[in-house]
Structures are given as structure tokens and as C-alpha cells.
Amino acid sequence: MNCLLHRATLELWFLVMITQAGLLVLLVRRRAWRENPAFVSFIAFSVVRSSLLACVYACGKNWKLFTAITWAAYAPQFIILIAVVLEVTRIVFQPYESFPTGVKRTFALACFCVAALAVIFALIWPSAPAAEWIKFANGFDQALSMTLWGIFGLFSAFSLYMGIPWEHRVYGVALGFFFFLSVDIFVSPITARLGVAASSYVWPIEMLAFLASLATWIIFFHRAPVPHSTPTSEQLKKILALLNTYVTPVEALERRGRDKVAKTEWRTVWVGGERNV
């Protein structure tokens, strides 16, 4: 049984790595970094992290180095996820000044309630006997997963409420993280309660959830329109020079027309009993 589980985990891991690389190629080809630079950074970081872990596993199964890379990746991954949240917030509430104060206040209050409930749950949920820093890390991971899960769910709801088209990339980003974190908030308490022994059974479930999220992102980013490039200052100067070459002859023609009209002698005639100039 353990042999079959181990083989299935390796196959899932390989499939996730291939799908991650394919999504990164799609994001680059669709120029997604112009509108979603934080999300592209998250996918690129995930590809690098998975590649490093795969190399460590293939080169000798050094579990200490494997665990060290896994724990060391949490800090930059947390920072990038916060950047993704801010990025989606900017997209949903852009321009920020035009939204009513009540909508912004309701969204901020909902996010605060989600974060408070996540922290309370992480504090009262029992954890397996371990070192204090491991208990803190597990509790922090539970609270962060539940908070992000709630925030991305709120992003989808508020985007739908404000009339953002369903084909927009913001739904793909929010729903992808919502699907993945839905499983993560389910398995994180189990791992914290049972300890490392449950990791071998939980990891395939998390990879399946992440694979579903990758499929969601691929679908939405493949269907979404490609962002237009912003012209540089040099391109704007060339456009302005090209327009000036046409503006000058048009102004000259208009001036000639006005002069011709001014020189024309106007006289009143009667046509069919009506006055005409």
C-alpha cells in the first residue's frame, strides 16, 4: 500500500510540475505580467520551488535539505501571496476613489471578520506534541490559509456584485486560490493534529487541489484578452510627429477656405418668391 501511495505521489508531483511550467509559458505568451505581475511571480516561484525539491529528491533523498527548502520557501511565498491580494484588490476596486464609501467599508469589515475567525480557530484547535516553533508555524499556516480563503472568496463575490465580466482574469486568480485553499484549510488542521505521520497521506490531496487550481488558471488566462502594451515616450514622440505632418496641410486648407469665403461677394436674390443668399 505504501509503495503504491509513494508511486502515485511521485506521478502527481511530476504532473503538477509539468502543468506549472505550461501555465508559466502561457502567462508569458499572453503577456500577463503587465496586468498581473504578482500572480506571475507566484507561479514562477512555485516552478522554481518544485524544481529544487525535485532535484534534491532525485539526487539522493536528502530529507534534511528537502525539509529546509520547504520551510525556507514559506517566507517568500507569504510575501508574494500578500502582493497577489493587493494586486487583485487594485484590479477589483480600480479606480478606488469612485467607489462608494459603504462598499469599501463593507469589504474591509468582511476581511477583518474572516481574519479574526481564522485566528480564533487556529488558537483553539489542538495540535500534536511538537516544538513550540512548529506549533506556531502550524497555527500561523492555518490562520493564513483560512484568511486568504475567505478574502479570495470575497473577491469573487464583490467582482460579481460590481458587474465585472465573467471572462476577466480576476475571477481566474480568485477562484483558483479559493479552490486550492478550500482543501488546504481542511488538511492543515489534520496535519497539525496528527503531526508528520499524516503528511504522506495529505500531500497527494493537496497536489490534486493545486492541480485543479492550475487548470482553472489555464482556462481563464487562455480565454482572457491580451493586455495592450503601453506606448513609451519615444513612441509617443513619433506618433506626435506623424500627426503634425498632417495637421499643418489641413490647417493651410482651412485657412484658404476661410480667405476664399471672405472674398466672395454676397448678394440677395429671390428664388421662387423666397429670399436666398
| pLDDT tens for each residue of 228-250 | 555 556 666 676 676 666 556 65
Most confident of 80-94, 178-192, 197-211, 242-256: 80-94
N-to-C CA span, the chain: 102
C-alpha grid cell for residue 87? 494586486
Burial class (CB in 10 A: 0-12, 13-18, 19+), 109: exposed
Q: Are 39 and 91 in contact (CB under 8 A)?
A: no
In the predicted structure, residue 160 carries a pLDDT above the cut 60: yes
Q: Are 276 and 268 in contact (CB under 8 A)?
A: yes
**In this predicted structure, what is the pLDDT of residue 248?**
60
Mean pLDDT within 130-142: 67
Rounded CA-CA distance 154/146 in Å is 12
> Alpha carbon of 172 to those of 23, 85, 213, 243, 262: distances in Å?
13, 13, 9, 40, 64
Residues 6+ apart with CB under 8 A from 217: 23, 43, 172, 173, 176
The total of other beta-carbon atoms located within 10 Å of residue 175's CB is 19
Q: Are 275 and 268 in contact (CB under 8 A)?
A: yes
The domain ranges of the chain are 2-223, 235-276
pLDDT band at 7 (very low <50, low <70, confident <90, very high): confident
C-alpha grid cell for residue 82? 500578500
pLDDT band at 114 (very low <50, low <70, confident <90, very high): confident
Q: Are 84 and 42 in contact (CB under 8 A)?
A: yes
The total of other beta-carbon atoms located within 10 Å of residue 83's CB is 15
Q: Note if the pTM is more than 0.75.
A: no
pLDDT band at 168 (very low <50, low <70, confident <90, very high): confident
Alpha helices in the chain (DSSP H): 2-29, 37-58, 63-72, 74-92, 101-124, 132-161, 169-194, 199-223, 233-263
pLDDT band at 39 (very low <50, low <70, confident <90, very high): very high
pLDDT band at 226 (very low <50, low <70, confident <90, very high): low
Question: Comparing 51-55, 60-64, 208-212, which segment has the lowest mean pLDDT?
Answer: 60-64
